[in-house]
Amino acid sequence: MTSCHFCDKTNTVGNNVPHSKKKTKRRIGANLQNRRVDGKRVKMCTRCIKSL
């Protein structure tokens, strides 16, 4: 499972809810992007990219 290099944000769990209201679990992935920091390529969430 991938996570943000700085804040360790990972996937969360939510529900798929159709019209019949029968809920099933689903994974919601963090918005991770590849960025170069100090010459190394790391995965960062968009909130950490904005704070740089």
pLDDT value for 23: 98
pLDDT value for 30: 95
Q: What share of the chain is helix, strand, coil (3-state, %, to 5)?
A: 10, 40, 45
Can you name the residues that pair with 35 across neighbouring β-strands? 42
DSSP 48: H
What are the pLDDT digits (tens) for 1-52? Answer: 799 999 999 999 999 999 999 999 999 999 999 999 999 999 999 999 999 8
Per the listing, tokens 């360790």 go with 8
Q: Report how far residue 11's alpha carbon sits from residue 14's, in angstroms, rounded to the nearest whole number.
A: 10
pLDDT value for 52: 86
DSSP 18: -
Q: Report how far residue 6's alpha carbon sits from residue 12's, in angstroms, rounded to the nearest whole number.
A: 17
